[in-house]
Amino acid sequence: MSGIRRVSVTCVLLISTFAAAEESTVLLQALQDELARSIEGLELEDVVKPHFIGYTVHTDRSITVNASKGGIENVNNDKSRRLEVEMRVGSRTLDNSNYMSRNFRNQRVNRTLALEDDYGLLRKQIWLATDNAYKDSIETYAAKEAAMKNSQQETTLDFSTEEPNVFIDERRSQKLDFVDVRNFARELSEVGQDEAFIYDSDVVAFTNQHTDTYLNSEGSHFTRRDDTAWIRVTAWSQSDDGRYVSDFLYIVGRAWKDIADLPKVKREVTAMHERLKATREAEPLDRYNGPVLFTGQAAAELAGQVLARNLINYKKPVFENDSVAAMFNRAMLVSTLKERLGARVLPRSWNVYDDPTQTTYKGIDLVGHYPVDSDGLLTRRVNLVENGILKMLLSDRNPSEDIQNSTASNATGAGPSVSNLFIEGTDGLSDDELTQLLLDIVEENGEEFGVRIDRAANPFVQISGVPSPYLGSQIGQAIPAISAYKVYPNGDEELVRHAVVRGNLLREMRNLPGYSSNISVHNSNYMFQGGDVSAFSGNVPVFVSIITPDILIEDASLSYMEGVVRSLPIVPHPHTN
């Protein structure tokens, strides 16, 4: 926890005492003064008053570079500062949050702020944003109240009670160099550029220095560095039957310099291209039902796409009417585990917890780390599953019937999410033992072979020009494999392509025949939905670390991936001439 200072306070007046050297005292003063004035005086006759105001100022310095074939395709080098207002009118029992109408939109008011600290101007900008937020909120409150009266919709408490905190993040951002990032992306995109089997490839390098400055009417205040960086390399081709084959490399970190090891990344890209070439030439997988061993990154995707999204506390919104409920209910993700709190959902030997306080695991950086969540709550380890029994779901300050308080899991301000998800088991097997167990099940079932998946798709990684491998499938209900092998009892292995795992994998995870004692760490992005729907602003990717063993599923269904089939290019690749 070095470099981070925690202080709990009960009085907002103490805030300035803890300001770190880099913190903008002018910005903070402007936020404080406008907050005090608004909470005191912002009201209209016979209309509900604010019971809570939260200000978050997002300051970004971001660089995005797209490169391919040794050149730059697209760049963006930007600096911005934005105020987000969380305005709650009414009371904790009933406020304007979590209401979904036909004209649904994100109700958080956002306003661009001056990059520089001009107290008078900041006050003015905060004042106008607060005024807009209040007017929007009282209209929403009235509509929500009317909808509840008309439809007898029940709702739980709308806002949890939490202790205020002050937190100053003393970590410093690394210096960003646009030319450095640009050159990195360009050089990386040279790898494989002469390979005719690669139809197209793309490198995206992204780095962002992000600082949140937060202040709310309960006395919480924090500054938080939330720097992110990632490198994404994609490549695609077509197999002889016209199916698209693609692969990707996705390196995620908290600082550009931590991930931008060019020789190392080049090697990884070369390996990715080799995988792509092999996959392109592999035979497609026929229908398969039987044991599947998820290893490494594929195990993390299984945990991330199937388990993690079900560990979120989803609060049911109040709908304007039945037709709105019908329209949006289908689109909303709902935790299928929510009804199983207190019941066994995973192997008895498993403990699962989320711990955003951890920065590393066995020397490997964890990207899911954050010291304080976007509601100003100090993060802590949250035990989710103990001995296979579901104990808790991750929540923000929007309570549901079962979970009344936040677990400080509002990582990005878009609702609760997983951060560093640890899956630990006490009965792990060695790699050889786990493979043998796979083959034992194969033999027991009288199957010809079992399947091992080393790499799987990630829903966040879209490849331009290539249909999504999730086409025709719901996220969480299907995992498209990128590297899958038939594993024969004699030890032979055969790469197959276009396999997608379907079925109720979450249920299968309850009774696993085995998992590895080896634990691996995977940093990636996932998207979650939960919390206050009024603050939902689309699919906000969250940086997540998944620390998981390899996982053997006893009975999974694999089928040929649905999707678009195109005839092969009529004109040969230019490199073949």
Partner 1 sequence: MHKSIQHCQRLAVFSALLFSVGVINAERLEDRNVLSAMAQELERSMSVLAEQPDPPFYISYEITDNSRAYVSTSFGEVTRSSESGGTFYDVDLRVGNPQMDNTHLANRRPFPRVAYGSLASQAGIRNYLWLLTDRSFKQASEQLVNVRTRSETQIDTDGPAFDLAPAVEVAHSEPKRSIQFAHTQWEKRLQRASNVFNGHPKLLSGNAQASVVKNVRYFVNSEGSRIQSDELMYTIVLSASTKADDGSNLNLSKLFHSRKPSDLPSNRELTRTADELVTMLIDLRNAPNIEPYTGPAILSGRAAGVLFHEILGHRLEGHRLKQTNDAQTFKDKINQRVLPESMSVVFDPALEKFGDTDLLGTYAFDNEGVAGQKVRVIEDGILKRFLLGRSTLADEGFRESNGHGRKAVGLSSVARQSNLLVEVEDPYTPSQLEEQMISILKERDLEYGLYFDDIVGGFTITQRSLPNAFTVRPVIVYKVYQDGSRELVRGVDLIGTPLAVFDSVIAAADDMAVFNGQCGAESGNVPVSAISPSILVGQVEVQRASQSRAILPILPPPGS
Residues lying near partner 1 in the complex (CB under 8 A): 24-26, 33-34, 37-38, 41-44, 61, 66-81, 112-121, 123-128, 131, 134-135, 176, 178-179, 182, 186, 189, 193-194, 199-200, 464-465, 566-567, 569-575, 577
Kindly tell me which of 135 and 344 has the beta carbon lying closer to partner 1.
135
Q: Min. distance of Cβ 400 from partner 1 in angstroms?
A: 33
Answer for the pair 371, 4: CB distance below 8 angstroms, yes or no.
yes
Kindly tell me which of 507 and 575 has the beta carbon lying closer to partner 1.
575
Kindly tell me which of 247 and 550 has the beta carbon lying closer to partner 1.
247
CA 290 to each of CA 234, 432, 511, 557: distance values in angstroms, whole numbers, following the listed order: 31, 19, 14, 7
Kindly tell me which of 1 and 571 has the beta carbon lying closer to partner 1.
571
- Cα–Cα distance, 199 to 190 (Å, whole number): 14
Helix 178-188 vs helix 262-281: crossing angle, to nearest 10: 30
- Cα–Cα distance, 345 to 350 (Å, whole number): 10
Kindly tell me which of 242 and 284 has the beta carbon lying closer to partner 1.
242
Q: Min. distance of Cβ 273 from partner 1 in angstroms?
A: 15
Q: Min. distance of Cβ 577 from partner 1 in angstroms?
A: 7
Q: Min. distance of Cβ 320 from partner 1 in angstroms?
A: 21
In the 8-state DSSP scheme, what is residue 314?
P
Q: Min. distance of Cβ 78 from partner 1 in angstroms?
A: 4
Answer for the pair 419, 368: CB distance below 8 angstroms, yes or no.
yes
Kindly tell me which of 225 and 397 has the beta carbon lying closer to partner 1.
225
Kindly tell me which of 96 and 417 has the beta carbon lying closer to partner 1.
96
Q: Min. distance of Cβ 19 from partner 1 in angstroms?
A: 12
In the 8-state DSSP scheme, what is residue 567?
P
Q: Min. distance of Cβ 512 from partner 1 in angstroms?
A: 43
Answer for the pair 60, 77: CB distance below 8 angstroms, yes or no.
no
The three-state DSSP-derived secondary structure of 509-550 is HHHCCEEEEEEEEEEEEEECCCCCHHHCCCCCEEEEEEEEEE
Kindly tell me which of 75 and 157 has the beta carbon lying closer to partner 1.
75
Kindly tell me which of 348 and 566 has the beta carbon lying closer to partner 1.
566
What value, to the nearest 5°, has the Cα angle with vertex 157 and ends 352 and 153?
A: 110
Sequence-distant (6+) residues with CB within 8 A of 548 are: 299, 300, 303, 421, 423, 519, 520, 522
CA 568 to each of CA 107, 196, 240, 358: distance values in angstroms, whole numbers, following the listed order: 47, 13, 7, 48
Q: Min. distance of Cβ 576 from partner 1 in angstroms?
A: 10
Could you tell me how far CA 448 lies from the centroid of its own chain? 38
Query: Which letter, b or e, does each residue of 186-205 get, where b requires 16 or more Cβ atoms within 10 Å of its Cβ?
Result: bebbbbbeebebbbebbbbb
Q: Min. distance of Cβ 134 from partner 1 in angstroms?
A: 7
Q: Min. distance of Cβ 482 from partner 1 in angstroms?
A: 21
Answer for the pair 117, 27: CB distance below 8 angstroms, yes or no.
yes
Kindly tell me which of 200 and 554 has the beta carbon lying closer to partner 1.
200
Kindly tell me which of 133 and 512 has the beta carbon lying closer to partner 1.
133
CA 315 to each of CA 138, 149, 562, 568: distance values in angstroms, whole numbers, following the listed order: 21, 19, 33, 48
Strand runs (DSSP E) across 394-441, as ranges? Answer: 420-425
Q: Min. distance of Cβ 506 from partner 1 in angstroms?
A: 37
Q: Min. distance of Cβ 486 from partner 1 in angstroms?
A: 32
Kindly tell me which of 69 and 344 has the beta carbon lying closer to partner 1.
69
For residue 386, give both structure tokens: 């103990």
For residue 379, give both structure tokens: 């993060």
